[in-house]
Amino acid sequence: MSTSDSSQVPVWDPLVRLFHWILFVSFCLAYFSEGEVFEKVQDRLDGELLQTMHVWAGYTIAGLLLFRLLWGFIGPQHARFSDFVFGPGATLAYARDVLTLRARRYLGHNPAGGAMIVLLLLGLASTILTGLALYAADKGLGPLAGLLLESSDATIDTLKEAHEAATNFTLLLVAGHLLGVAWESLLHRENLVRAMITGRKRRQTSAGGD
């Protein structure tokens, strides 16, 4: 997959790359600092410290989502929603071409990748919103505390279930994203993880792709 510097072109700007990797770290911190799966870890560590880590990781993700929404309209070409959000027909057609190993290569996000990004943003947003609501109802803290301060146990349980469902849905999307990155890397013989680190990809060799 190695290519000379002359064959590489800039695609992902520094802010998009920072957003991607800080989001990855923040999501991991939020997930691994909360949840019944990690009760043994929580028993050995300060529960209050883990809660603080979980909350601030969530706030970080919320800030990142607001940035990405703005950057999707005013950022460079390949960062904009207009560059990678396609209609359902084009997305399904591309997914079919991927399965038959005939998918064209895109310099930016392909239609399936663009759809996944939109779903991930929605999944993360729902996770953050339900998390803020649960934090307010259960702990009486956070920006929604004034609205949910005296919530009933039933409401808290409902919010907890909603937050867990949103988290699991987002985790499923993350798994799908990783699978898509691996598949596209093999299909087009291009290291997409490295591209998100360096910001550069192999230039297009023709108008229709490689």
Residue 32 is predicted with a pLDDT of 87
55 located within any domain: yes
At 86, list the tokens. Answer: 């396609």
DSSP category for residue 2: -
Q: Which residues face 9 on adjacent strands? A: 201
At 95-141, the pLDDT tens digits run: 999 988 899 999 999 999 999 999 999 999 999 999 999 999 999 99
Choose among 188, 26, 157: nearest CA to 34. 26
At 63-75, the pLDDT tens digits run: 999 999 999 999 9
Q: Return the ∠ at Cα 9 (arms to 204 and 111), rounded to 5°.
A: 55
Higher-pLDDT residue of 2 and 39 is 39
Residue 208 is predicted with a pLDDT of 47
> Residue 146 — φ and ψ, nearest 5°?
-65, -25
At 104, list the tokens. Answer: 């064209």
Q: Is the pLDDT score of 37 beyond 60? A: no
Identify the band that residue 149 occupies on the pLDDT scale cut at 50, 70 and 90: confident
Identify the band that residue 35 occupies on the pLDDT scale cut at 50, 70 and 90: low
62 located within any domain: yes
DSSP category for residue 103: P
C-alpha 149, offset from chain centre: 30
Q: Is the pLDDT score of 38 beyond 80? A: no
At 151-210, the pLDDT tens digits run: 899 999 999 999 999 999 999 999 999 999 999 999 999 999 999 999 999 987 654 445
Q: Is the pLDDT score of 43 beyond 60? A: no
Write the Ramachandran bin of 80: left for phi over 0, alpha for psi from -120 to 50, otherwise beta.
Answer: beta
Rounded to the nearest integer, the mean pLDDT of the chain is: 89
Residue 44 is predicted with a pLDDT of 56
| Residue numbers of the domain that contains 29 | 5-202
208 located within any domain: no
Beta-sheet strands, E only, within 11-166: none
46 located within any domain: yes
107 located within any domain: yes
183 located within any domain: yes
| 3-state SS class at 179 | helix
Q: Return the ∠ at Cα 199 (arms to 102 and 184), rounded to 5°.
A: 20
If one counts the domains in the chain, the total is: 1
In percent, how much of the chain has pLDDT > 70?
A: 88
209 located within any domain: no
Residue 150 is predicted with a pLDDT of 85
Choose among 207, 176, 181: nearest CA to 194. 181
Q: What is the CATH number of the domain that holds 165?
A: 1.20.950.20
In percent, how much of the chain has pLDDT > 90?
A: 76
207 located within any domain: no
Read off the amino acid at residue 151: S
